Amino acid sequence: MRPLLSVPRAVLGEWVRSQGLTWVEDESNAQLRPDRNYLRARVVPSIRERWPSAAATVSRSARHLGEAQQLLDALGEADAGRASSGPMLSAKALRRLPPERRRNALRFWITAAGLLAPPASRLEELAGALLAAREDAQPLVAWEGAAVQRQGDLLVLRAGGGAQDHAPGLPELAWPWRRRRTQVLPPPFGALVLEPDARGPLDLDALGPTLTVRERRGGERLRPVRGGPRRALKQLLQEARMPVPRRAQLPLLFDRGRLIGVADLWLDASVQAHAASRHRARLRWRVE
């Protein structure tokens, strides 16, 4: 609150003197290096001399701008509310808005979360390229103190910004499964377990001594049905309608460079058990 902001300095000075009060002058006010001090000491007096009503005009314009901002905030709140899905926003709903309202809704959503509004160039990316991207692309726009990522149809806002602020990926891990039937993975990837099961779908005799576990990198393929074609993992995930954030957490299992398992969802035909399989198991993916 600054209740005396609209009272001229001369009026305040006269009243203080009439009351016999003293005050402390900030020595830095006399330094002309800061822009605001230079404007106050050199520029504003000249403007007032030429246009005596300049201060009142500027003050009136500031009030008009404040009222306009209140209207924009109200519109942004309404538009963001209609596009909201919990704390996230729907890209599809935002695309239905005109560009200027789309930018306004995004700006309101970000600042309402207590984060710094993005600069104009980043806001243009959010309202344009990020919304127009494919649902499985997961584009990200970051700026000082914040980042927005597209996950499927939803926009997710995070404090921090930049790739270094996201959860670490799954490093490539060697799993000597014959000595250790459980492979614990770093959060949030959980753990993989080979459970002996006489009716299990996995043929243990088809596996090499050491398996490799890692995250998706793109382009992975496997044959989920014996005698069927090799399928792109990306296509299988899309057909399963798996949420994009969940896809990023799936641990992949490789044997001698070949993809043989996707969490506990799919096994490659080369390691699937058959009637003659003597040692069978079931691959479980446990997530906390």
- Please provide the DSSP assignment of 18-58 as one string: HTT------GGGG-SSSHHHHIIIIIHHHHHHH-TTHHHHH
SS3 category, 232: strand
Average pLDDT, integer, range 1-17: 88
Please list the residues that pair with 259 across neighbouring strands.
Answer: 254
pLDDT at 63 over 90: no
**pLDDT digit string, tens, across residues 114-150:** 889 999 999 999 999 999 988 777 788 888 888 998 9
pTM of the model: 0.50
Report the distance separating Cα 239 and Cα 162, nearest Å.
Answer: 31
pLDDT for residue 168: 58
In angstroms, the CA 285 to CA 282 distance is: 10
CB of 106 closer than 8 Å to CB of 94: yes
Looking at per-residue confidence, does 62 or 262 come out higher?
A: 262
pLDDT in tens, 18-48: 999 988 888 888 888 889 899 988 998 999 8
**Percentage, residues of the chain above pLDDT 70:** 96
Name the strands in the sheet holding 88-90, side by side, starting at the edge strand that comes first in the sequence.
84-85, 88-90, 154-160, 145-151, 140-143
pLDDT band at 256 (very low <50, low <70, confident <90, very high): very high
Measure the CA dihedral 169/175/179/182, to 10°. Answer: 40
Q: Where in the chain is the domain with CATH 1.20.59.20?
A: 82-165
Per-residue pLDDT, 247: 80
Secondary structure of the chain: what % helix, strand, coil (to 5)? 40, 20, 40
List, for residues 71-117, the tens digit of each pLDDT value.
999 999 999 999 998 889 999 999 999 999 999 999 999 999 888 99
| Range from 63-67, 169-173, 267-271, 276-280 carrying the lowest mean pLDDT | 169-173
Give the CA distances from residue 224 to residues 24, 159, 194, 228, 281, in Å, rounded to whole numbers and listed in that order.
Answer: 80, 40, 19, 7, 17
Q: What percent of the chain has pLDDT over 90?
A: 58
pLDDT of residue 161: 53
Sign of the dihedral defined by the CA atoms of residues 271, 273, 274, 276, in that order: positive
Query: Do residues 59 and 6 touch, judged by C-beta distance below 8 A?
Result: yes
Q: Residue 158: what pLDDT?
A: 87
Which tokens hold the place of 122? Answer: 């980043």
DSSP-derived pairing of the beta strands 266-267 and 231-232: unpaired
Query: Looking at per-residue confidence, does 219 or 210 come out higher?
Result: 210
Question: In CATH, what class is 82-165?
Answer: mainly alpha
